[in-house]
Chains A and B, each alone.
Chain A
């Protein structure tokens, strides 16, 4: 699903956020990328999410070589293959949950009524079937993150990228969101979660630890060695 080989991302001014990183993530995996802030994990998410291009190295997402795609093709890749979940939800204020989710599908070319139908189904799936017409300010933090997750999975992308999905939530809501992500993974979605929370990372089947732009340990690789 995801294949990075010798990926380097450096910024003008000499900062190297990713330093020759190689990583393979198979279809159906649930992976935590964990590390302190400044370790390069956010850059990793941007590169994997095709929001950013590497300075050197090869990135393949669902078989596509990112370097060979134009901006329009990358946008199409994101629209159809990748769902994003952010720490701060990024929901539109004063817009009902169902429209927040439906508007996420506007770039897939699906008609409006079909978008709303899928949005309602996605909200049902994250357990908010009774909150369709509620606006973000009427929802709790955990519920807002569920709406954001519904938006990310409404188009049935094979890959879900979550950046600190529980970072802005209390522990009870956080646990609920993590359970939901586990359920989605069980239903077949490949999920990569960026977190600095070791506890959350430990609850996932595979952990990739990062520091100073490099992978310092990968639980999958250690198993192979063992």
Chain B
């Protein structure tokens, strides 16, 4: 009874709370005393985060580049090409198709190209006939480059004079395959057995990539010299953006009223966007690889923490003798683990940003790193640090002080 009364008179004992600054300072002790180990285990986390930021950043940058390209090229180009008949033979669009489409109200421009199936292309007469290089010859209207957004790398486009004479404009791949560096009066190629002078070479045409591996000649000369039948095979139309879908629905019927099913209508910008979507699926896969790297980094941190607790038993014992509670020991090791992974995360964000910037700069893309990727990466590192540090921290706090002090 006396003991109880005596006890009540004594001041109440309460362990002091550590200030946040002290928690950080004590948590950093392990990092300061073993900097190389801290660096290496933070590096594991950094590689994972850098991989993820890099993948997201590069894919976003390429997306931004596509948006930029599309806004420059316009998304209002519709292509009408002759398909196949029900019998599986190549279909023909009527010669009037061009004029008919031009009469649709919202259509701003129409141009046409006609494939000349038999006109094979060679660098010279000496080239064996079998080596066609997969090059197609098209008869082209003069307004074709303006409609599809094609630009010339070298020379000039056809004009009212040259379209009547053996003059040709090469697509970018064609020029490469034939080994033609620049257009000029002395540069000639053989088209359908006749010599044509190369007057121009195109840049790659993103919205009409069939032109990249084509030789383009004037409509009149094609009819006169190359046995061209005069039927257009592809029509290119620019339409007011607002009525794009309406125009699209009537294009086939307008181009070939007798057999609308023999005509294919497509929107090339959709194809580019679809390609982008495909690469996004691949990005998802790479992101998964980055996540695995991050996980491995987390295991590295956990390993470091377990070893740290084993090695620092005497420090833990000393701290307990100095008045650290179990909770404070737990907090110390948890703080150390969080610091370690936060350092790795910050480094990873820096590396990932650097890689993205470098790659985008190299490709001539705008560098874009979404904020959610950075924020998500840092949040992931903190979560990993907490999980990796929890078990070692709890183990450290459960260590009996006498046992901890007994180890030298």
Does A26 interact with chain B (Cβ within 8 Å)? no
Residue pair B402, A52 in contact (C-beta under 8 Å): yes
Interface set, chain A 28-78, CB cutoff 8 A to B: 46, 49, 51-52, 63-65, 68-69, 71-73, 75-78
Contact among A71, A80, A104, A111 for B325, CB-based, below 8 A: A71
- Name the 3 nearest CB pairs between A and B, nearest first: A79-B323, A109-B16, A107-B323
Secondary structure dominating the interface of B: helix
Compute how far the CA of A106 lies from the CA of B26 in the bound complex, rounded to whole angstroms: 9
CB-defined A-B contacts under 8 Å, sample of 7: A64-B10, A64-B13, A76-B16, A78-B322, A92-B29, A94-B32, A107-B324
Residue pair A112, B15 in contact (C-beta under 8 Å): no
Does B269 interact with chain A (Cβ within 8 Å)? no
Q: Which residues from B are CB-within-8-Å of A88? A: 314, 408
Contact among B3, B6, B320 for A75, CB-based, below 8 A: B320
Known contacts A51-B321, A84-B321, A106-B22: A92-B33 contact under CB 8 Å: yes
Contact among B17, B25, B323, B327 for A80, CB-based, below 8 A: B323
Does B315 interact with chain A (Cβ within 8 Å)? yes
Minimal beta-carbon separation of A144 from chain B (angstroms): 14
Q: Which residues from A are CB-within-8-Å of B405? A: 51, 86
Q: Which residues from B are CB-within-8-Å of A68? A: 7
Minimal beta-carbon separation of A45 from chain B (angstroms): 9
Q: Which residues from B are CB-within-8-Å of A94? A: 32-33
Does A175 interact with chain B (Cβ within 8 Å)? no
Does A140 interact with chain B (Cβ within 8 Å)? no
Residue pair B402, A77 in contact (C-beta under 8 Å): no
Q: Which residues from B are CB-within-8-Å of A63? A: 6-7, 10
Residue pair B18, A106 in contact (C-beta under 8 Å): yes
Compute how far the CA of A52 lies from the CA of B317 in the bound complex, rounded to whole angstroms: 12
Number of contacting residues on A, CB 8 A? 35
Q: Which residues from B are CB-within-8-Å of A78? A: 320-323
Does A93 interact with chain B (Cβ within 8 Å)? yes
The interface of chain A, by Cβ under 8 A from chain B, is 46, 49, 51-52, 63-65, 68-69, 71-73, 75-80, 82, 84, 86, 88, 90, 92-94, 103-104, 106-109, 111-112, 151
Contact among B3, B13, B321, B322 for A69, CB-based, below 8 A: B13
Residue pair B14, A72 in contact (C-beta under 8 Å): yes
Least CB separation from A64: chain B residue: B10
Compute how far the CA of A77 lies from the CA of B19 in the bound complex, rounded to whole angstroms: 19
Residue pair B33, A72 in contact (C-beta under 8 Å): no
Least CB separation from A151: chain B residue: B322
Least CB separation from B401: chain A residue: A51
Compute how far the CA of A107 lies from the CA of B325 in the bound complex, rounded to whole angstroms: 8
Contact among A46, A72, A84, A109 for B327, CB-based, below 8 A: A72
Binary CB contact string for chain B from 12 to 41 against chain A (1 if under 8 A, 0 otherwise) = 011111110110011001001100000000
Compute how far the CA of A109 lies from the CA of B6 in the bound complex, rounded to whole angstroms: 27
Minimal beta-carbon separation of A148 from chain B (angstroms): 10
Least CB separation from B26: chain A residue: A106
Residue pair B13, A90 in contact (C-beta under 8 Å): no
Compute how far the CA of A151 lies from the CA of B319 in the bound complex, rounded to whole angstroms: 12
Residue pair A72, B21 in contact (C-beta under 8 Å): no
Compute how far the CA of A75 lies from the CA of B320 in the bound complex, rounded to whole angstroms: 7
Does B353 interact with chain A (Cβ within 8 Å)? no
Residue pair B325, A72 in contact (C-beta under 8 Å): yes
Q: Which residues from B are CB-within-8-Å of A92? A: 29, 33, 315
